């Protein structure tokens, strides 16, 4: 697939960002550690391209029992994450450095897509807040949050898995994280289309053959074929993107 100008612009801009710090505020940091201990995210952290820090909000509670939730005013089912521990944690971090965004992971936020991933991947310091129970006190959202992000129209037990998805989506775009830095630019959605079909060796397996054009060595025709197939797949599978 041809790399469009928007994708090229993203890549050039990202060359200016050689390090990203992400601070994740959560009630359950143990839920978040494993995604960063393998594969691309682990390599990104080990190479110094990114750093991820977990902050247990219970440590910022003034209550003897480290309470972080309470019943909602007006009654109703469920518990609500309290304002003070979140405010204290965010303020403590902001006293140490400037942050480009404070992001709340919530089902009713803006839908996380490739364009959002591209945009957030250009930031250097980010705070992620993981909701839990029925969510956070509305005053957190009104006064402390700069962006609200959803990974889909469904509800999870907490924002930890959404935070892991968010981190994977943006960290992989940092130049030097992927083995081939241009790889991310040909992913689905980067130019508004789904990616074309991909194949690897062997060229013939039990009679299932790779399209001849892909082993022709004719780069212009291969690129044209990929563009055509990307458009074809998008029309069939995701016409809403066109």
pLDDT for 46 equals 96
Q: Specify whether the CB–CB gap between 160 and 28 falls below 8 A.
A: yes
Q: Which of these CATH numbers, 3.40.1390.10, 3.40.309.10, 3.40.47.10, 3.40.1280.10, describes 5-171? A: 3.40.1280.10
In CATH terms, are 5-171 and 193-241 the same topology? no
pLDDT reading at 28 higher than 70: yes
Buried b (16+ CB within 10 A) or exposed e, 117-148: bbebbbbbbbbbbbbbbebbbeebbeebbebb
Amino acid 157: pLDDT = 93
Q: Which of 121, 150, 110 is nearest to 7 (CA)?
A: 121
Note the pLDDT of residue 85.
98
Dihedral of CA 160/162/165/170: which sign?
Answer: negative
State yes or no: pLDDT of 18 exceeds 90: no
- Give the closest residue to 241 by CA, choosing from 200, 188, 204: 188
- Would you kindly state where each structural domain of the chain is located, as residue ranges? 5-171, 193-241
pTM (predicted TM-score): 0.86
- Interval 216-222 mean pLDDT: 96
Model pLDDT for residues 55-77, shown as the tens digit of each residue: 999 999 999 889 999 999 999 99
DSSP 151: S
Fold of 193-241: 1.10.1270
First to last CA, the chain: 16
Question: Is residue 1 very low, low, confident or very high in pLDDT (cuts 50, 70, 90)?
Answer: very low
The reported pLDDT for the residue numbered 127 is 98
Q: What is the pLDDT of residues 110-162, one digit of tens each?
A: 999 999 999 999 999 999 999 999 999 999 999 999 999 999 999 999 999 99
Which pLDDT score, from 0 to 100, does residue 179 have? 72
């Amino acid at each position: 697939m041809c790399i469009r100008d928007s994708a090229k612009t993203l890549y050039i801009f990202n060359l200016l960002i050689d390090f990203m710090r992400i601070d994740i505020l959560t009630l359950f940091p143990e839920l978040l550690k494993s995604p960063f201990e393998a594969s691309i995210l682990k390599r990104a952290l080990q190479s110094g391209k990114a750093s991820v820090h977990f902050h247990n909000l219970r440590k910022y509670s003034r209550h003897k029992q480290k309470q972080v939730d309470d019943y909602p005013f007006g009654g109703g089912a469920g518990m609500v994450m309290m304002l003070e521990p979140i405010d204290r944690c965010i303020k403590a971090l902001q006293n140490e450095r400037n942050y480009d965004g404070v992001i709340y992971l919530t089902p009713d936020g803006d839908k996380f897509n490739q364009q959002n991933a591209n945009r957030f991947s250009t930031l250097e310091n980010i705070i992620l807040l993981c909701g839990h129970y029925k969510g956070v006190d509305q005053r957190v959202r009104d006064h402390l949050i700069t962006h609200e992000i959803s990974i889909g129209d469904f509800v999870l037990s907490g924002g930890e898995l959404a935070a892991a998805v968010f981190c994977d989506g943006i960290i992989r775009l940092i130049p030097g994280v992927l083995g081939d830095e241009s790889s991310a630019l040909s992913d689905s959605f980067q130019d508004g289309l789904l990616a074309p079909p991909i194949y690897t060796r062997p060229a013939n397996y039990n009679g299932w053959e790779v399209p001849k054009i892909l082993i022709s060595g004719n780069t212009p025709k291969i690129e044209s074929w990929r563009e055509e197939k990307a458009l074809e797949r998008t029309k069939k599978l995701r016409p809403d993107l066109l």
